[in-house]
Chains A and B, each alone.
Chain A
Amino acid sequence: MNDPVLDISGLTVDFGGVPAVRGVDLHLGRGEVLGLVGESGSGKSVTALAAMGLLPAAAHVGGSVRLDGAELVGAGDKALSRVRGNRVAMVFQDPLSAFTPVYRIGDQIVEAIRTHQDLSREKAAARAVELLDLVGIPEPRLRAAAFPHEFSGGMRQRAMIAMAVANNPDVLLADEPTTALDVTVQAQILDVLRTARRETGAALLLVSHDLGVIAGMADRVAVMYAGRIVETAPVDALFAAPRMPYTLGLIGAVPRLDADAEGRLEPLVPIPGAPPAPGALPPGCAFAPRCPLAEDRCRETEPLLTAAGRAGKATHPAGAADPAHLAACVRAEEVGALRPLDVFPVPGTDGALRKAGPGGGRPVADDVLRVTDLARTFPLLKGAIVKRRVGSVHAVDGVDLDIRAGEVLGLVGESGSGKSTTLFEILELRPPERGSVEVLGRSVEGLTRRDARALRAGVQIVFQDPMASLDPRLPVGDIVAEPLRAQHADRALVARRVPELLRRVGLEPAHADRFPHEFSGGQRQRIGIARALAVDPRLLILDEPVSALDVSVQAGILNLLLRLRAELGLAYLFVSHDLSVVRHVADRVGVMYLGRTVETGAVAEVFARPLHPYTQALLSAVPLPDPVRERARTRILLPGDPPSPTSRPSGCPFRSRCQVFAALDPGRKERCTTQAPALAPQGGDHTAACHFPAERAVL
């Protein structure tokens, strides 16, 4: 490694005595990409902010951060402001709140330029336009005059990167730069980050919770847990042979889009427990309470970050020779040879996974849900206080779904694809604007109030954000009992069911009188599931049930869902933006784009042989947590953002971004521009809505 441009050593941060970062050492070489991974609360973002001196005044920062030898910790606001945005620049997570809402994007970039460079306003404005062009914003001159709220999320993040590189910084800090974005946009932004790095030669500290993103971008990786670095290594070594059980667990907990060597999916390994509260760290290794390999000596002193795990034993055969691979674990040498499943037992896995294997065919059973050609438009309103209708948003415009009893259908699509609207339309149980909805064999046309109530017992929903979906003012027992009471269940039944349900989802009956805020995220989602199960539904609608959770907890919930389904014969409509998760739980998958279903089929079939160009692009955009394979892939980068659902283009709605269309000859293009492709069978029960379906391997 050359001389580090950014050298963080012994960094500590505490907020009013509660430690958030406890002695972090990081060295960022010139032009290097260092990935910093960790779950929420591990201190990774705080580390990045501390490096720039951007923490609130209540934070107490210790240790040292040197930029080319100059100390930043403890430097005054004046001195820091000369460095910030000039030599070190930052890209924040949420680009909407990160721009001042009242100033134009171009002006905000100009401000960044003129703060550090002595340029005239005109020259700076011209430079801002150049920068916007560099990050791939179309019509940069025009867009520079736009306000932040007029940009899409992806565009804002591009502009944020443009602003960060405005003064050719030596170091870029990116704090979860793609977390709020869709996969295809994420792929674009990562590409822009690469471009930006190429143009400026800056070193990049990439903070992320997403192992896939890290695998594709980083040269080296540091893993953070409970405020410390617990393992650091070159990216290949880290993913191939992690030496810290926590890293191993993280890798094992991520659902993967690609199958393992035998073409079989491995069960996910949930890491038991939750990270310790920062104010109440256990003695010794902070991971010990969750670590299956923990021994007595782990609980005595906190292991140091060393090459062989423990000082004085540096001559282990299994690759301990690599001085760049450090781990803070007393059993590091052994761990290097283990696989996730060896360390983290998955109780009762066998048989809990899907019954229908690849190509196993669909169950012979009744439909629990059949949706044909569903449409829903919303008025497009303008005006701040007095609204007037200026057009229509075609949120859902031709969705077909069918789920048989006991089957799991995954519904994937990016934001704005109409997934949520589809769910809500189904759940409203009212006649749709267009098309038909049949729930449990009954059409929703002409339901009486009483029928509707009875039908609601058969379909229940689990929401994305477990905190938001549980009324904070009600005890858990009442929350779980709510659907029972809505069905007029008698007291005795409620009293019997509640403990039973809590036990079924892995909570204790004694938890019934506690309030939602007393539980962790994973436990809250279990409460949500218990509530949905209360009235013995046949179909569970799961709206992004794990996307608000950390990976290690997410694995536990996914396993629970699989198990419940096997035990109770439930059917799921599983909505997710995460294709890996869908691959892991669903039998069949439906892909949505701009309010329409564009491809359906068995999961194994669609993921292995995607036919619609959008599905191909989507799959190709998902990063794999495997640096070797990730580097070897060629990515289909979709241009731009999805068009606004307010206009209904003639022909194929995907045309504006379709990579297949772009390569067609004019004669064949004609078909795409004039005729909207219908969802057509492509062999077996695989359907796709494209005039020119062609197989393409994307994984």
Chain B
Amino acid sequence: MAAYVARRAGYYVALLLVAVCLSYTLAATALQPRAYFEARQPPPRPAAVDAQLTALGIDDRTPLYDRFGHWAAHAVRGDLGRTIDDTSVNDEFGRRVGVSLRLLLVGTLAGTVLGILAGAWTAVRQYRLSDRLVTVGSFLLLSTPVFLLAVLLKIGAIRLNQALGTDLIRFTGETTPGLRGGWWAHAKDRAVHLLLPSLSIGLITIATYSRYQRSTMLDVLGSDYLRTAQAKGLTRRKALLKHGLRTALIPMSTFFSYNFLAVFTGAIFTEAIFGWHGMGEWLVGSIGKDDVNSVVAVSSFAAVVVLFSGLVADVLHAALDPRIRHS
């Protein structure tokens, strides 16, 4: 088991290295930090621009492999370089990672659990009214892009606030600036701010997971072992819960990694729309500012997260399925 995970991790590291090299090459060739500086008001002297670019290690006159070598030499020591505004990428990274994780965690976790339950439930009640309602709902959600859902939620919240005449639902940023009060007030404030972004991620997660879990559960419903479980005297309900649902969870683990990828990209939009200063917003912003080092940092982070979710999925799969564990 340990050896299996180690091998898998080795493959992932190789993938990651290639991905990082590619990201750097692309960012360093396509982005034009020189233009960013030259466009400043008042226009700086060319020599100053050159000096600044060299200091940041993103001077387009240096050959690409030299720039990459310079960057990589620092990166392996844990230093991701400086942003275009000459602040530390590492500091920025540290600030934003937490924001993104807080955003993703609640939405995906709640969405996954609820989605699996909804899927299993609707499979058992196939073609009944409840199944049809959940199916229609999830189809509708699956047909709404994340950004649109986020915008719609925001519009809904504004309407609600207008109607109530209060600021019941707040949705800009993580906290209300300048809020006074004890930790309870702060916690409540954070929770209120978390509501809409988590909903937009969570709703779509519920929709995808419920569809997929419904189909794996339906596969299981006709299985021989479910029949055996009933043949030895379990009631249908007990057989479904103990034998059916447990086995139908196995294929979900592969789905987990695919879906995480989607959620992650969706989070970029969610952050941008709700004004969270997370990794996604950073990526959008730094592409706009031609900030090579920041862009590379964020894309590498994205690759790590996706691979990590893949590894988690592999481990989950092995944990759920003894046929893998003991092969």
Contacts and interface: CB of A to CB of B under 8 A. Distances in A.
A312 interface: no
A101 B229 CA distance: 12
Given A52-B231, A81-B235, A112-B233, A101 B225 contact: yes
B11 A386 contact: yes
A85 B233 CA distance: 5
Interface string B19-31: 0000000000000
B7 A78 contact: no
A111 B238 CA distance: 12
B289 to A, nearest CB: 40
A52 to B, nearest CB: 6
A160 B228 CA distance: 9
A81 B229 CA distance: 10
Interface stretch (B134-142, B162-170, B319-327): B319-327
Contact of A112 (B222, B232, B247, B323): B232
Nearest to B249: A102
Contact of B228 (A100, A167, A383): A100
Interface string B220-251: 00111101111111111100000100110010
A383 B11 contact: no
A56 B243 contact: no
Contacts of A163: 232
Contact of B231 (A78, A85, A385): A85
Interface of B: 3-4, 7-8, 11, 222-225, 227-237, 243, 246-247, 250, 314, 317-318, 320-324, 326-327
B327 A84 contact: no
A53 B320 CA distance: 31
Contacts of A56: 222
A115 B232 contact: yes
7 contacts: A77-B235, A77-B237, A97-B224, A99-B228, A100-B243, A112-B232, A160-B228
A101 B322 contact: yes
Given A54-B230, A77-B235, A98-B225, 8 more contacts: A56-B222, A77-B237, A78-B235, A85-B233, A92-B224, A102-B250, A115-B233, A167-B233
Contacts of B314: 385
Interface in A406-424: none
Nearest to A88: B231
Contacts of A382: 327
Contacts of A563: none
A150 interface: yes
Nearest to A55: B227
A102 B324 CA distance: 10
Given A149-B323, A386-B7, A85 B232 contact: yes
Contacts of A77: 235-237
Interface string A142-165: 000001011000000000100100
A679 B320 CA distance: 48
B225 A97 contact: yes
B246 to A, nearest CB: 6
A384 B314 CA distance: 9
Contacts of A98: 224-225, 227-228
A interface residue count range (under 10 / 10 to 19 / 20 to 34 / 35 or more): 35 or more
Nearest to B321: A102
A101 B234 contact: no
Interface string A364-387: 000000000000000000111110
A116 interface: yes
Nearest to A386: B7
A147 B321 CA distance: 10
Closest 7 CB pairs of A and B: A85-B233, A85-B232, A112-B232, A97-B224, A100-B225, A115-B233, A384-B324
A82 interface: yes
A383 B247 CA distance: 20
Contacts of B224: 92, 94, 97-98
B212 to A, nearest CB: 19
B326 A89 contact: no
B199 to A, nearest CB: 34
Nearest to B231: A90
Contacts of B228: 90, 92, 98-100, 160
Contacts of B229: 100, 111
A150 B8 CA distance: 24
Interface string A31-68: 00000000000000000010010101000000000000
A90 B230 CA distance: 10
B233 A147 contact: no
A78 B250 CA distance: 29
A388 interface: yes
B247 A101 contact: yes
A386 B14 CA distance: 14
Contact of A84 (B4, B233, B246, B247): B233
A437 B304 CA distance: 52
A104 to B, nearest CB: 8
A99 B226 CA distance: 8
B5 to A, nearest CB: 10
A103 B225 CA distance: 11
A516 to B, nearest CB: 25
Contacts of B246: 100, 102
Contact of A147 (B3, B4, B227, B326): B326
A86 interface: yes
Given A54-B230, A99-B228, A102-B247, A384 B4 contact: yes
B324 A84 contact: no
Contacts of A386: 4, 7-8, 11
A15 to B, nearest CB: 13
A627 B212 CA distance: 53
A587 B112 CA distance: 64
A382 B243 CA distance: 27
B247 A384 contact: no
Contacts of A89: 231-232
Contacts of B237: 77
Contact of A388 (B7, B11, B234, B323): B7
Contacts of A86: 233
Contacts of B234: 81, 111, 115
B327 A384 contact: yes
Contact of B326 (A49, A99, A150): A150
A167 B232 CA distance: 9
Contacts of A111: 229, 232, 234
Given A81-B233, A383-B4, A54 B227 contact: yes
B38 to A, nearest CB: 50
Contacts of A383: 3-4, 7, 327
A99 B225 contact: yes
Contacts of B231: 52, 54, 84-85, 89-90, 92
B225 A82 contact: no
A49 B228 CA distance: 11
B232 A97 contact: no
Nearest to A173: B231
A101 B321 contact: yes
Nearest to B314: A385
Nearest to B10: A386
A102 B233 contact: no
Contacts of B4: 383-386
B230 A149 contact: no
Contacts of B223: 97
Nearest to B244: A100
Interface in A546-588: none
Which of A77, A99, A100, A382 has the most chain B CB within a 10 Å cutoff? A100
Contacts of A100: 225, 228-229, 243, 246-247
B232 A385 contact: no
A49 B224 CA distance: 12
B322 A147 contact: yes
B307 to A, nearest CB: 14
Nearest to B324: A384
A98 B247 CA distance: 13
A473 B326 CA distance: 38
Contacts of B230: 54, 81, 84
A443 B246 CA distance: 55
